[in-house]
Amino acid sequence: MKFLIVFVALFAMAVARPNEAEIVRQDVDVAPENWSSNLEIRDGTIIVQEGVLKNVGTEHEAAVVHGSFSWVDEKTGERFTTNYVADENGYQPQGAHLPVAPVA
Ligand SMILES: *[C@@H]1O[C@H](CO)[C@@H](O)[C@H](O)[C@H]1NC(C)=O
């Protein structure tokens, strides 16, 4: 549940932009043990998330979330995409623009 709250907060932050953000597509589907959402904004921002609860009803109950944020740099027109998995191993983002930790 903590993950869900964090992701709802991230989602809200992504949507709350200082200038008027026109939503061109928004789909939200929430079931008791899984959910998905898609949001596309006129400026090219795309936010996608799919989540599922696993080990429901056990002490190992956990949310597993797959998603991505993608946005276009206003100046260069370059698109940046971050894909992530968030699960019991933490938040694991991946993107061509993100640094990769050196192998220990
Ligand atoms: C949740 O899972 C059910 C069963 O697999 C599926 O039919 C449904 O589309 C899923 N819903 C979401 C929001 O992912």
CA distance 55 to 23: 35
Looking at residues 65-80, what average pLDDT do you find? Answer: 95
pLDDT at position 64: 96
CA distance readout (Å), 77 to 35, 71, 72, 74: 31, 9, 6, 6
pLDDT above 80 for 89:
yes
pLDDT above 80 for 104:
no
Ligand 1 neighbourhood includes 29 CB (under 6 angstroms): yes
Ligand 1 neighbourhood includes 38 CB (under 6 angstroms): no
pLDDT above 80 for 3:
no
Residue 8 — φ and ψ, nearest 5°?
A: -65, -40
Distance 69 CA to ligand 1 centre (A): 22
Distance 37 CA to ligand 1 centre (A): 12
Q: Which atom of ligand 1 approaches the CA of 30 most closely? A: 13
What percent of the chain stands above pLDDT 90? 70
Looking at residues 27-56, what average pLDDT do you find? Answer: 96
Could you tell me the pLDDT band of residue 102, with boundaries at 50, 70 and 90?
confident
Distance 19 CA to ligand 1 centre (A): 34
pLDDT at position 8: 65
Distance 53 CA to ligand 1 centre (A): 11
